[in-house]
Amino acid sequence: METEGQNCRMGSYIYRPKKTKKVFERIRGASVIHILSHTLYFLSLYLSLYLFSDQVRVFPILERVDSAMISDSIPKASISMASSTPKNLPKKKRANRSAKVKQNKLVARRGQFISQVKNKIGCKDEANGEGGLHGGASVHPENERGQAMEKLEINPRGEEEIYGDGSPMNHYSDSESSPLNSPTSHTSSVLGSNGSGVQFTASSRSGSSSGRSSSSSSNGCCSEIMSEDDEEDDCLDDWEALADALAATEKKEEVHNPESEFDSPPEKHGIGSQSSGVVINPEIGGMAVKRDPELCRAWSPDDAFRPQSLPNLSKQYSFPLISERQLSRGGPVWGCKNVGGTVPTSCPICCEDLDCTDSSFLPCLCGFRLCLFCHKRILEQDARCPGCRKQYDRDDSIEKEATLDGGSLTIRLARSCSMITRS
């Protein structure tokens, strides 16, 4: 668990070596205070909740899973957590239940998010592979996949931390900016080192009614040290700080990460509006949630990521319309005597213009077209096709078949027409 968490961390920082150093320094400095705060907190908890000693043993495991899920815990923090599990035993059952519910929620959301990210990766890979519009396409997908795999690990965390707005940037930015924003330096350092935990606490508090107990079940225990009065304000502060930090870091990212921009040529080329790379991470974290309905669907026809090799359904559907327009425009040129497979603009019998219904009406397999009015009149008389002199079959089935046949004919013709216009 710890190694995984670290890997994630490394993955998220991989494009920012300088900052990584800073953070680790801060973490090292903070860890002492962190442990102190933990012990303090758990002592107080122990004293206050001593009476509820019939704690189910499952809870610490859940908690550990929780911490793993959040996975931002640096080794020391998680060790402290592990050591503190026996002290956590005396707790409310209610807390356990809410924690379970929350856990389920988190797991569900994580799965959802991972699938979304996977979708996204698939889309992008395909788009890049198909498009081949930029030279870097051959190198890019691998890069992207690597990063995306990191994202798979990272983003769920972001998602858990802040609902819908989660991103790997968040805890990072929080670790940077929260010392400035939060009032108590003591806790803020903890916040800095264990940012995700704090945010998780905040979110869980806003999310669940059993605020204190549930939040205490998470590893964001540091906030519990603060006084009750400060808690609400601090939460708000956290959120505000987060918002500020988000904005700030996005700007910083754009300025300070030229190599990451270099890594994401699609963005520069403007092909994939959202592409890989560290720069886009917040976008992906946030956008993936926003684009949820779109991702659940198949490719939308105007999607930038849509592989070009896929058959263009919308165009196919619009073929007959195009053909009609085209033919009606080119009608005077081609004339009504055009015998081939083309659709005449006017009925050869009555010389009235064929409307849409008439043009899609093909009563005979020979392909002779006429307006419905004339067709009816002919049916009233000798009921033979003017083109081939064969008896019109009064059976509707044949007529439908013929019409269908005509439909495909129309589509085929229209395709050729549209090809002409496109080229």
Q: Where does this chain bind another protein (CB under 8 A)?
A: 337, 348-352, 368, 370, 374, 377-378, 381, 384, 386-387, 389
Between 94 and 389, whose beta carbon lies closer to another protein?
A: 389
By the 8 A CB rule, do 26 and 174 touch?
A: no
Residue 280 phi, psi (nearest 5):
-90, -5
By the 8 A CB rule, do 168 and 12 touch?
A: yes
By the 8 A CB rule, do 167 and 177 touch?
A: no
What's the token pair of residue 351?
Answer: 């010389």
Between 179 and 348, whose beta carbon lies closer to another protein?
A: 348
Closest-CA residue to 260 (of 152, 166, 126, 169): 169
Pairwise CA distance, residues 157 & 193, whole Å: 15
Pairwise CA distance, residues 261 & 421, whole Å: 38
Pairwise CA distance, residues 73 & 6, whole Å: 8
> In the complex, what is the shortest distance from the CB of residue 313 to another protein, in angstroms, rounded to a whole number?
37
Between 64 and 384, whose beta carbon lies closer to another protein?
A: 384
> In the complex, what is the shortest distance from the CB of residue 311 to another protein, in angstroms, rounded to a whole number?
37
> In the complex, what is the shortest distance from the CB of residue 384 to another protein, in angstroms, rounded to a whole number?
7
Task: Spell out the alpha helix ranges (H) of 218-312.
Answer: 222-225, 228-256, 258-263, 265-269, 281-290, 292-296
> In the complex, what is the shortest distance from the CB of residue 303 to another protein, in angstroms, rounded to a whole number?
48
Report CA 273 to chain centroid distance, whole Å.
Answer: 13
Structure-token match 């601090």, residue found:
234
Between 225 and 378, whose beta carbon lies closer to another protein?
A: 378
> In the complex, what is the shortest distance from the CB of residue 392 to another protein, in angstroms, rounded to a whole number?
12
Between 325 and 377, whose beta carbon lies closer to another protein?
A: 377
> In the complex, what is the shortest distance from the CB of residue 399 to another protein, in angstroms, rounded to a whole number?
18
Q: Is the dihedral of CA 282, 288, 290, 291 positive or negative?
A: positive
Between 123 and 347, whose beta carbon lies closer to another protein?
A: 347
Closest-CA residue to 68 (of 153, 10, 149, 171): 153
By the 8 A CB rule, do 319 and 411 touch?
A: yes
What's the token pair of residue 262?
Answer: 């270099």
> In the complex, what is the shortest distance from the CB of residue 272 to another protein, in angstroms, rounded to a whole number?
56
Pairwise CA distance, residues 324 & 359, whole Å: 8
> In the complex, what is the shortest distance from the CB of residue 368 to another protein, in angstroms, rounded to a whole number?
7
> In the complex, what is the shortest distance from the CB of residue 268 to another protein, in angstroms, rounded to a whole number?
60
- Degrees to nearest 5, angle at CA 257 with 252 and 262: 140
Pairwise CA distance, residues 179 & 404, whole Å: 72
Which residues contact residue 293 at a Cβ distance below 8 angstroms, ignoring those fewer than 6 apart? none
Count of residues in the chain: 423
Between 380 and 395, whose beta carbon lies closer to another protein?
A: 380
